[in-house]
A and B are shown apart, each in its own frame.
Chain A
Amino acid sequence: MITVENLQKEYKLVKRDPGLKGAVKSLFHRQYETKKAVKGVDFTIGQGETVGYIGANGAGKSTTIKMLTGILTPSAGKVTVNGLVPYENRQENALSIGAVFGQRTQLFWDIPVRESFNLLKHIYEIPDQEFAETVSMFTEVLNLEPLLGVPVRQLSLGQKMRCELAAAFLHRPKVVYLDEPTIGLDIAVKVRIRKFIKEMNKIWGTTVLLTTHDMQDIEEICDRIIIIDEGRILYDGGLEEIKVQFGQKRVIHFDLPELDSPFILPAPLLGMAEVLPASEGETKVSLSFDHERVKSSFVISEMMNRYDIQDLTIADPKIESIVEELYNRREQGGTYEQVLANS
């Protein structure tokens, strides 16, 4: 369905010296610097997969999605979506994809939602029967009935996002790109939106590529995640696998205000738990251990025998903490290979 091979994108940015002097200088003489947003990405996504595409801000997520929709031409590498090269067959590709960009609206500002849908019907040449069925289904699942007659400019963010989603799925596209569809929404709307995406994937086998910073979205919608960082893929695999791979690990943070000498692991825990690197002057010690081999209660009781513990927290083995750990270790200077090997 989607094949990406060694995909790269470079931008040329105008470099400016700071201040008014720099601004004036840039009028006459422009210096460019090249920024590599995507540095060689490979993946294949099959029909009906739901993939979470995650990474920190500026990691290259949106750039990749723009290349998949055909809005951007790659600097190097290959992309095909439904057998088409998006940037060469932009209009044809457009017929079989849908997209939501959480930060932009695609509906028509001044006319009621219903009219926007009607226009999309003509633009995507949706047959009458199919259109009527789709709209009535969406109306029910997304609870759009009270919104259909309201101009888009009068909708709240949550209401608007429900309509945007409906608009993206209206022509039953084979692939849908969702770029932060839940940004800024309350929990009730998020739940409804997740349910809708899952249902569309089930009924029509829509392939979904989702970027988000809300890991709950990923856990509920996706069966696979691709983690990208600084333009490269850090992890690509099943959601369950990453949980197994990382999720056996438990981390407990202990607060030891009385600690004056360097921390030594209690003897019974040697070889069973490891001390995670902590910043200097911190009174906190974090222990990481394999949940299958050692019980949390054992670790805690050994620590309590040896040290005066003021407080402790058990880190939650959710995808969120896994990703956070990946980012953190990366920031502390480890290479991707090390990060993955250590886990």
Chain B
Amino acid sequence: MNKYWQIAKVRMQEDTAYSAWYWAGTVSSILRLLVIYYFWQAVYSNRSAIQDIDLETMITYIVVAMLLQGFVGGVGQDLAENIKNGNVAIELMRPYDLIYKMFAVDLGSKLMHLIRGTIPMMLVAFFFMDIPFPGSVEAWLLFIISAGLGLWIGTFFDFLVGVLAFWTVNIWGVRVLKESLVTFFSGALIPISLFPDWLRVITEFLPFQAMVYLPVSIYSGMISGTEAYLAVGLQLFWLISFYVLVRVIWAQAVKQITIFGG
């Protein structure tokens, strides 16, 4: 276990290698937050609620969604690059499980993102925007579990997209598509409850809402009680399915390199 933690630490160090870039990340996170905040203020200037969601709930939803969205990505990009330049072969020569190694790298970048992006954004959100906390201890706990599950579902999905590079070599287009699908269907842009009925039904069957929409709805109280537990159950289902899929596809990919030479 220790080796994977060390790998995560090295990734954090690598992220600090370019300091200008590091601080630019912080500044741009805060700017994005402010833009979104004033945008929704403007939307609500002539009305008090959109489909029963008042301004405070909406801002809470959007801000928390934004905080979570930063963690939904993963190591797909790194993996795809490794595959493209052939370094994945060297990785296979190391005494570790490459999937765990990639997730350790991911953990490292996410911890860095937490420090560099999320915490400054949280400070701004709580001190300037008066974002409230969840209503109860139960909601707090459910939110933390749900956010953790959502984050891993996002990571696994990103990994799956990255592995595609084994077959297509260049996955730039697929990644762009993936980003927009995730941003829209995860509910990171607007709450899924605002979608038209037909689209909402489709969305409920897709895995993306488990990444952002469900945890944020628990946080903001849009989902509570039994419904919240069901939501966490659904996330667990997606998480396990994705993990199995990651393993199966990865085994195929390794076979592809070792037998066909990549």
Contacts and interface: CB of A to CB of B under 8 A. Distances in A.
Contacts of B258: 70-73, 87
Contacts of B6: 118-119, 122-123
B261 to A, nearest CB: 5
Contacts of B93: 69-71, 90, 94, 97, 99
Given A11-B260, A73-B259, A92 B95 contact: yes
B53 interface: no
B112 to A, nearest CB: 13
A91 interface: yes
Given A104-B87, A125-B3, A115 B94 contact: no
Contacts of B54: none
Contacts of A87: 258
B13 A111 contact: yes
A101 B92 CA distance: 14
Contacts of A90: 92-93
Interface string A215-226: 000000000000
Nearest to B261: A11
B3 A101 contact: no
A124 B6 CA distance: 12
A106 B259 CA distance: 23
A238 B259 CA distance: 33
A263 B257 CA distance: 56
B interface, over-half SS: helix
B95 A123 contact: yes
A122 B3 contact: yes
A27 to B, nearest CB: 12
A66 B89 contact: yes
B195 interface: no
A152 B261 CA distance: 28
A123 B261 contact: no
For this complex, into which size category does the number of interface residues on chain B fall?
20 to 34
A90 B96 CA distance: 9
Nearest to A101: B90
A92 B94 CA distance: 9
B132 to A, nearest CB: 40
Contact of A151 (B2, B7, B17, B89): B17
B130 interface: no
B257 to A, nearest CB: 7
Contacts of B86: 104
Best-surrounded residue of A71, A95, A101, A109 (most CB of chain B within 10 A): A71
Contacts of B13: 110-111, 115
A197 to B, nearest CB: 19
A43 interface: no
Contacts of A73: 258-259
Contacts of A91: 94-97
A124 B95 contact: yes
A124 B87 CA distance: 19
A12 interface: yes
B259 A71 contact: no
A249 B95 CA distance: 48
Contact of A119 (B7, B87, B257): B7
Nearest to B257: A71
Interface of A: 11-12, 66, 69-73, 87, 90-92, 94-95, 97, 99, 101, 104, 106, 108-111, 115, 118-119, 122-125, 151
7 contacts: A69-B93, A71-B257, A71-B258, A73-B258, A94-B95, A97-B93, A104-B87
Given A108-B14, A110-B14, A123-B96, 16 more contacts: A66-B89, A71-B92, A71-B93, A71-B257, A72-B261, A90-B92, A90-B93, A91-B95, A99-B90, A110-B13, A110-B17, A111-B13, A115-B13, A118-B6, A122-B3, A124-B95
| Smallest CB-CB A-B distances: 10 pairs | A110-B17, A122-B6, A94-B95, A110-B14, A73-B258, A122-B3, A95-B95, A71-B89, A123-B3, A91-B95
